Structure 1
Amino acid sequence: MLSDSPSRPRFAGGVGRLRGWRLLACAWGAGAIGALAMPPYGFLPALAVSLTLAVWMMDGAGLGRSRKGRLGPAFLLGWAWGFGFLTAGLWWLGKAFLVEADEFLWALPLGVIGLPFGLGLFYGAGFSFAGILWSRGPSRIAALALGLSGLEWLRGHVLTGFPWNVLGMALGQSLWLMQSAAYLGLYGLTVLAVLIAAAPATLFDGGSALRRFGPTVAAVAVLAGLGFAGFERLRAPDPTVPAVRLRLVQPNLQQDAKFRPENRDDIVDRYIELSERPPEPGDPAPTHIVWPESALPFLIQREADTRERIAAGLKPHRVLMTGAARTDEPLPGERPRIYNAIMVIEADGTITDTYDKVHLVPFGEYLPGFLDETLRALGLRQFVAIPGGFTAGNPATQRILTVPGLPPVVGTICYEAIFPAAIRPVGQPVDAAKPPGLILNVTNDGWFGDTPGPRQHLAQARLRAVEEGLPMVRDANTGISAVIDPHGRILGQTKIDVETYLDADLPGRIEGGTPYARYGDWLFAGMLVICAGLSLAGRERV
């Protein structure tokens, strides 16, 4: 194999000859290095170092083994790599366990170590699949891209899905490079990210100059081409929607006090005061007010007096879009169902439309059904203290919000905005004459403080705007609220841990949408087929 070749430099062959705990430790460290390519750091060369090391370790995993015999070592290698990648990228999840430390501190290791440990199994499967097609030549780079990209898609869909820090985000942060998401989506970017970042591993192969240098030269050319195409796509400015001025209210409420009913009056007063602060001199007055996810510690639909108070506090003709819990009236003997919702409240205090969150956060907003009774018997609950947890909205009746003065609004709540292709209405026909005009994302992010978490959340939500060709209006309880145009340009944003507001015009949508909005992940599927073909074509007998 390559790692035994005398023409192979000592450091490359040395990595390939690692065994046992040293191999797993190196794989964990390589994965952790790769996390530096994710938001908020965006250091793309870190992924090149990470995946180059992974290729050399995979070369060694097949020494003296048949293709079937290398699957076990490849699986362990991939699991360790993924464990390191996710541990380094998701450590900030531990902050949520400290908000109510008296109840949740014991579970901190499960979030910081347990989740990456379990999700690492996806990477083990991806490396194993790549091992089936592994070869001595450059085609093994395509095999790795096939395995890793396929597993990232699975990670985003299996067991409710968790597509956080998907490898394609390495290309999804640069304004120029992210434009390709309008065609390929996040998972298509993942194929390109792996192909580009792993290509330098072939520089130290034996054989001809084309065999050694060709993949890296091609990777640099593709990266330059993506950048140039993105630059050209950004040349035209996006128009704004006339007669619309948004105000995004960021109250910076402390998470441990936010849901206490005794704070209700102070919380409402804070929202009204921020909503009604005069705009900067020369700026138009807001026409639409946005409050963040679960803005109020009570069921506003049952509080007509409070709605009237809010309506009286806001200037006439303004429309409020707010995150709020809501409930259905239960049948006799039923437990009330509580929904995490967005509500549209008009100037007279009337609730005219709602959207119920479809994709809830396991253990955060509900306990999975098969664990619910067991965990509650032990006195455990989800993070949000709603009896029985939130109920998911029905995806078959997912709504486009109708908001006076705005084009049709696609509602998303919190981490729903990290799921590619999942923001489109399901089961509800889209009026071709009145297509969606913006994505509204209300979120909290107060659980995670001033850590990489809120910044990663913003970066991933931002990519949805590029994929769909729609502007995004994102309002957070605390950092980072933003208005993003359909090319991913951030027109305004707030800082973390600051009580403030953001006034901005509403950018227009891209007429006709984007190829990704029309075809979804079909182009990604085609890229996987191409990678499979390249892997099979270059495979050699071992």
Structure 2
Amino acid sequence: MALLAGALPALAFPAPSLWWWAYVALVPWLLLTRSAPTARRAMWDGWLGGAGFLLAVHHWLMPSLHVFIVLLALLLGLLWVPWGWLTHRLLHGRPGAGRVAAALVLLPSVWLMAELVRSWEYLGGPWGLLGASQWQVAPALRLASVGGVWLLGFLLVLVNVAVTVLIAVARGRTVALAGLAACGAAVAGAWAWVPQAKEPGTARIAVVQPGVIPGPGPRFERGAELTRQLAGRDVDLVVWGESSVAQDLTAHPELARRLAGLSRTVGAELLVNVDARRGDMPGIYKSSVLIGRDGPTGQRYDKMRLVPFGEYIPARPLLGWATSVGRAAGEDRHRGTEPVVMKLPGSLRIGPLVCFESAFPDMSRALARDGARMLVVQSSTSTFQGSWAPEQHASLAALRAAETWRPMVHATLTGESAVFGPRGEPVGPRMSTGTSAATVYTVPLGEGTSPYVRIGPWPVYGAMAALAVFCAAEGGRALRRRTDRPSGGRPDRAPGERPDQQPDRPSDRRTDQPTPGRP
């Protein structure tokens, strides 16, 4: 039951994309955990529920990882053990208003801590954060510009906890209603008072999606053919997907000349992605390379955060056998060292990201702080065609755009390609996984600095502070209980003894009186 209850929130993400379900999806899991007979059982419910959630959200990885996806889900599911324990601690039985109020703050906080830890790139990254389910809800996107996806996740868990209290905890319903009213006030306040991104101009961006074409050579030729069709359409930039070029441009100058010829034909720069062994450095890199009329402009970004097992195998000497049971990387890719903001002719500055990196809120925030006016993601989800992965990945671009007030172009080899404006609103048609075309988008540019870019992930810091206060209070309570015990080790009173009943002392007994019941 815990596994199934934990899996329910996955329906709020694409492809089902039942965004409204996220507001009650945790309720069955919470009800199960709070009713556990012991705290240990609640911790088991937290662990198995977390594993069920991760398996459901990442189920499309099973053909690639096989048994590893189960092991990873069980490992990362341990992050929800504190959540299960705290749910039982605060909501079990008939809690009063104080415990309910604490639950409305602490349970969302410990959920954020679980999401924060699993967002570490070496543990799989921040895919499937609960707040990401709200990528198409305009009020939620406005809140994202204030506190990022973290604020959305905090409020969603708070609403689920409040609904759970309304269902099962009669004494705490007033507090739960107050929590829901606070959430409503936060949304209304953000809608009324939070500034929005300014849109001082537009840029015409072309996205080339060759479609499902086996082999890097035919795929490149299809991309070149689609690019030539853009001649005379007055575009500012042409974006190809991830791994669109399979040879190093330095080692193959004829390939660089062909790309330069395409740039001259279109009258705009090309942003291609080279997935190849580099001549001047050992190993394979995935690099965003800007091509101008005369060839590579010298502006290049090397992918910094790689997909575990997909682009490298952690502890390969120990786990290298994964290549024999799944589609794990046969050779580790190499990492870049720093983000790059590329300058196009005119005033347009773009911040490139590669595939997996669009899931990380901190990377797009850093590019916006460095002066990027547009974010560009080059992706390839061709391995997962027919699954939920392409739609889930494209939806992340809406959140990153809303968080940073910067439009985001999500260009893929095989779909789904999509473009979102600086408020997270969709721009133009999405290119589905069955499309092979070049589409031109008139993209509104963002200006100004969003509160999230300026301040950072403050909901995470607030959650840490709340949990620190709780831990300090619990520690102090435990210390007081220990110091209240008599030094002789005798408990405060014997089992069954009334508080007002004191044991007899030898000096209180009258030895000259006969014992009752004896002659």
By the TM > 0.5 criterion, same fold? yes
Q: Which whole-Å CA distance do the structure 2 matches of 1:207 and 1:121 have between them? A: 31
Give CA deviations for 1:187-244 in whole Å, capped at 9, x if unaligned: 1211111001221111244555xx3144146426624752674488698873433xx4
**Residue matched to 2:67:** 109
Determine which of 390, 397, 401 is the counterpart of 2:342.
Answer: 401
Determine which of 240, 250, 258 is the counterpart of 2:201.
Answer: 240
Q: Residue 438 of structure 1 contacts residue 472 of structure 1 at CA under 8 Å; is this kept in 2?
A: yes
Q: Which whole-Å CA distance do the structure 1 matches of 2:62 and 2:295 have between them? A: 39
Following superposition, the deviation at residue 165 of structure 1 comes to: 0.9
Determine which of 436, 439, 442 is the counterpart of 1:499.
Answer: 436
1:320 matches 2:261: no
Give CA deviations for 1:54-93 in whole Å, capped at 9, x if unaligned: 33223223x4x5xxxx2x3232111111122222222122
The 1:499/1:54 distance shift into structure 2, 3 A limit, reads same
1:46 matches 2:21: yes
Give CA deviations for 1:7-38 in whole Å, capped at 9, x if unaligned: xxxxxxxxxxxxxxxxxxx2112112222122
Q: Residue 303 of structure 2 contacts residue 353 of structure 2 at CA under 8 Å; is this kept in 1?
A: yes
Q: Supply the RMSD in Å over aligned alpha carbons.
A: 3.3
Q: Which whole-Å CA distance do the structure 2 matches of 1:41 and 1:535 have between them? A: 39
1:392 matches 2:335: yes
Q: Residue 106 of structure 2 contacts residue 466 of structure 2 at CA under 8 Å; is this kept in 1?
A: no
| Structural mapping, 1:6-155, within 5 Å | 26-44=1-19, 46-61=21-36, 63=37, 70=39, 72-95=40-63, 97=64, 107-111=65-69, 113-128=70-85, 131=88, 136=95, 137-138=99-100, 139-155=102-118
The 1:294/1:158 distance shift into structure 2, 3 A limit, reads closer
Structure 1 residue identity aligned to 2:125: F
**Residue matched to 1:442:** 378
Structure 2 residue identity aligned to 1:290: V
Structure 2 residue identity aligned to 1:344: L
Give CA deviations for 1:324-345 in whole Å, capped at 9, x if unaligned: 12544458xxxx2221110001
Following superposition, the deviation at residue 475 of structure 1 comes to: 0.5
Determine which of 389, 409, 415 is the counterpart of 1:479.
Answer: 415
Following superposition, the deviation at residue 157 of structure 1 comes to: 2.1
**Residue matched to 2:245:** 296
Q: Which whole-Å CA distance do the structure 2 matches of 1:367 and 1:162 have between them? A: 15
Determine which of 390, 393, 398 is the counterpart of 1:454.
Answer: 390
Q: Residue 230 of structure 2 contacts residue 266 of structure 2 at CA under 8 Å; is this kept in 1?
A: no
Q: Residue 245 of structure 1 contacts residue 284 of structure 1 at CA under 8 Å; is this kept in 2?
A: no
**Residue matched to 1:3:** none
1:373 matches 2:317: yes
Structure 2 residue identity aligned to 1:289: V
Q: Which whole-Å CA distance do the structure 1 matches of 2:159 and 2:464 have between them? A: 15
Q: Residue 142 of structure 1 contacts residue 535 of structure 1 at CA under 8 Å; is this kept in 2?
A: no
Following superposition, the deviation at residue 529 of structure 1 comes to: 3.2
Q: Residue 202 of structure 1 contacts residue 216 of structure 1 at CA under 8 Å; is this kept in 2?
A: no
Q: Which whole-Å CA distance do the structure 1 matches of 2:54 and 2:426 have between them? A: 27
Q: Which whole-Å CA distance do the structure 2 matches of 1:443 and 1:81 have between them? A: 31
The worse-fitting range, judged by mean Cα deviation, of 125-134 and 514-523 is: 125-134
The 1:317/1:131 distance shift into structure 2, 3 A limit, reads same
Q: Residue 259 of structure 2 contacts residue 291 of structure 2 at CA under 8 Å; is this kept in 1?
A: no
SS of 1:363's equivalent in the other structure is coil
Q: Residue 168 of structure 1 contacts residue 186 of structure 1 at CA under 8 Å; is this kept in 2?
A: yes
**Residue matched to 2:355:** 414
**Residue matched to 2:284:** 338
The worse-fitting range, judged by mean Cα deviation, of 496-505 and 31-40 is: 31-40
Q: Residue 295 of structure 1 contacts residue 322 of structure 1 at CA under 8 Å; is this kept in 2?
A: yes
Q: Which whole-Å CA distance do the structure 1 matches of 2:470 and 2:133 have between them? A: 23
Following superposition, the deviation at residue 115 of structure 1 comes to: 3.1
Give CA deviations for 1:280-331 in whole Å, capped at 9, x if unaligned: xxx9432321111110222233211122123224416321101112544458
Alignment TM-score, normalising by the size of structure 1: 0.78
Q: Which whole-Å CA distance do the structure 2 matches of 1:535 and 1:41 have between them? A: 39
Structure 2 residue identity aligned to 1:35: A
The 1:205/1:94 distance shift into structure 2, 3 A limit, reads closer
Give CA deviations for 1:95-136 in whole Å, capped at 9, x if unaligned: 5x3xxxxxxxxx52333x333233212222433355566662
Q: Residue 344 of structure 1 contacts residue 353 of structure 1 at CA under 8 Å; is this kept in 2?
A: yes
SS of 1:302's equivalent in the other structure is coil
SS of 2:8's equivalent in the other structure is helix
SS of 2:67's equivalent in the other structure is helix
Q: Residue 288 of structure 1 contacts residue 318 of structure 1 at CA under 8 Å; is this kept in 2?
A: yes
1:466 matches 2:466: no
Q: Give the number of aligned pairs.
A: 470
Q: Which whole-Å CA distance do the structure 2 matches of 1:378 and 1:449 have between them? A: 22
SS of 2:285's equivalent in the other structure is strand
Give CA deviations for 1:158-196 in whole Å, capped at 9, x if unaligned: 735521111222434312212101111111211111001
Q: Which whole-Å CA distance do the structure 2 matches of 1:312 and 1:381 have between them? A: 43
Alignment TM-score, normalising by the size of structure 2: 0.81
The 1:411/1:237 distance shift into structure 2, 3 A limit, reads closer
SS of 2:363's equivalent in the other structure is coil
The worse-fitting range, judged by mean Cα deviation, of 140-149 and 397-406 is: 397-406
1:272 matches 2:218: no
Q: Which whole-Å CA distance do the structure 2 matches of 1:284 and 1:237 have between them? A: 26
Q: Residue 364 of structure 1 contacts residue 382 of structure 1 at CA under 8 Å; is this kept in 2?
A: no
**Residue matched to 1:363:** 309
**Residue matched to 1:20:** none
- Could you tell me the percent identity over the aligned residues? 25
**Residue matched to 1:514:** 450
**Residue matched to 1:169:** 132
Following superposition, the deviation at residue 150 of structure 1 comes to: 1.2
Q: Which whole-Å CA distance do the structure 1 matches of 2:194 and 2:122 have between them? A: 37
**Residue matched to 2:506:** none
Q: Which whole-Å CA distance do the structure 1 matches of 2:345 and 2:311 have between them? A: 30
1:193 matches 2:156: yes
Q: Residue 441 of structure 1 contacts residue 475 of structure 1 at CA under 8 Å; is this kept in 2?
A: yes
Q: Residue 133 of structure 1 contacts residue 536 of structure 1 at CA under 8 Å; is this kept in 2?
A: no
Determine which of 195, 208, 215 is the counterpart of 1:258.
Answer: 215
The 1:140/1:350 distance shift into structure 2, 3 A limit, reads closer
Q: Structure 1 unaligned runs (5+)?
A: 1-25, 98-106
Give CA deviations for 1:461-501 in whole Å, capped at 9, x if unaligned: 32111111111111101111122111001102211221112
**Residue matched to 1:5:** none
Structure 1 residue identity aligned to 2:295: G
The worse-fitting range, judged by mean Cα deviation, of 220-229 and 179-188 is: 220-229
Structure 1 residue identity aligned to 2:46: G
Q: Which whole-Å CA distance do the structure 2 matches of 1:45 and 1:287 have between them? A: 38
Structure 2 residue identity aligned to 1:108: H
Q: Residue 198 of structure 2 contacts residue 447 of structure 2 at CA under 8 Å; is this kept in 1?
A: no
Structure 2 residue identity aligned to 1:186: V
Give CA deviations for 1:327-378 in whole Å, capped at 9, x if unaligned: 44458xxxx222111000111223421000000011111122x2x2345578
The 1:496/1:231 distance shift into structure 2, 3 A limit, reads farther
Q: Which whole-Å CA distance do the structure 1 matches of 2:460 and 2:8 have between them? A: 26
Q: Which whole-Å CA distance do the structure 2 matches of 1:382 and 1:353 have between them? A: 35
Q: Which whole-Å CA distance do the structure 2 matches of 1:90 and 1:305 have between them? A: 41
